[in-house]
Chains A and B, each alone.
Chain A
């Protein structure tokens, strides 16, 4: 049978966004029901009467009528204008509505986890069950989170409109950061047994691509983020061994890396080198590019990587970046220099780093390289005590056995 030339997943986000843009965020739940009912109607009538010429427009019109019917039934609202009674299908307006939806999901009144859930639900067309599987949570917890997030948006008076001027600039920043965090959530779960949940990561990449293709998406930072995500994504086939265990960058079979994604990464990295602003994604993508280019862990241009880490730590200081810099320093200058740096980093911010698993794995790795296995064991045991991720624990246990 001929492949259906419409994606319900894609249409659900576009139509929902457009309905919310027209009927207000106060009606978001009703709009979701209306979109759902349009899909149900499609499944009932298309097999019999054939797929309409423009399936997306058909779904949009049916959803709009369902929403208006619902409002009338509740005696809330009876549209007066011709336009509302006979909705028109305008692709540009749809795109704008989706962008508005994206910005709304990234509203400052929401925490990161809520933003991720809301994005997945409204923009990626994932059901509560799918999201809870992806985020290793229960369906009840996820649906409560979504309900609360929507309520908070209504109460905080978030407007469903695109920011302009300086506000657009900072709002774009938040949007890219939200997508970046969503990717990270899929990249390495903080608990549970599934290490790489590639579906979340793929959705994140699609979102950046959609944003980039939009009329406000001409932004070097978006290109750089896309480069970074493609580089990370290219390594997924090598990150998890056949028995499901985690494989460190140093031990990965690089022939498994996805060459097409690496090429895409370099293409976007090249495209990002314009404008005046160097985002953290630029630097992180440059580092990921060094790894993508290298034939092996040892053969990596560590001097270059170390320089990029220096830039990252200087411009976008974070304890995690500082820790990773220790590895680059150790590879470029030797483990003693790396350890010295590690001691300075941890000494400066012991409170936030002591419970973080990679503080100890990096320490253990440095000590092992210096030929001090007994001390390395102590560090790895500390690492073991700070993670609940089953695969990470398994990885650390095997490392301990090897020492």
Chain B
């Protein structure tokens, strides 16, 4: 089953020193490396702050001033046997340490 971790509103980064950020990077690298080693890794990316909203009325560019709390800053796509397993993995995502909150979503089952 495919799952996606959506990372929102990591707002602690601005207060960190470069050395602390490097520590953070290493935690994320360890998280991604683990997903790879366990053969779960599908995709991951950080997302730029610019948002283009496209509606019936046309195109609106938002940001990079979108509400930081609600902004999706990055995602991880991975496989897990079920929700329990996926939840346990998502809890290890370093984002939580940096003020982020995580939304875990599963691929729709048909």
Q: Which residues of A approach B to under 8 Å, CB–CB? A: 1, 4, 6-9, 11-12, 35-36, 39-49, 51, 73, 125-127, 129-130
Across-interface contacts of B16 in A (CB, < 8 A): 127
Among A45, A73, A125, A129, contact of B18 (Cβ-Cβ < 8 Å): A125
Extra contacts besides A8-B19, A39-B13, A44-B45 (9): CB < 8 Å:
A1-B33, A6-B22, A7-B19, A8-B22, A12-B18, A44-B73, A45-B45, A47-B28, A48-B76
Binary per-residue interface labels of chain B (4-21) against chain A in the complex, 1 for a CB within 8 Å, 0 otherwise: 000000000111111111
With the chains together, A12 CA to B13 CA distance in Å?
14
* B residues contacting the other copy or chain, number (CB 8 A): 28
Is B45 a contact partner of A49 (Cβ separation < 8 A)? yes
Measured CA separation A221–B31 after assembly (Å): 48
A9 touches B22 (CB 8 A): yes
User: Given the complex, which residues of A lie within 8 Å of B73, measured CB to CB?
Assistant: 44
| Contact A47/B32 with A11-B18, A127-B20 known, Cβ cut-off 8 Å | yes
Taking A48-B44, A129-B15 as contacts, is the C-beta distance between A43 and B20 under 8 angstroms?
no
Per a CB cutoff under 8 Å, which of B15, B24, B30, B33 touches A43? B24
Question: Which residue of chain A lies nearest to B16 when distances are taken between CB atoms in the complex?
Answer: A127
Given contacts A45-B45, A47-B32, whether A4 and B18 have CB atoms under 8 Å apart is: no
| Cα of A213 to Cα of B109 in the assembled complex, Å | 62
Q: Which residues of B contact A (CB under 8 A)?
A: 13-22, 24-26, 28-33, 43-47, 64, 73-74, 76
**Closest CB in chain B relative to A128 CB, distance in Å:** 8
Query: With the chains together, A9 CA to B25 CA distance in Å?
Result: 13
Q: Is there contact, CB below 8 Å, between B22 and A7?
A: yes
A7 to B14 CA separation, bound complex (whole angstroms): 18
Q: Which residue of B lies closest to A51 (CB)?
A: B29
Q: Which residues of A contact B43 (CB under 8 A)?
A: 48
A158 vs B36: C-alpha distance in the bound complex, in angstroms?
A: 51
Closest to B14 in A: A36
- Interface contact B46-A45, CB-CB below 8 Å: yes
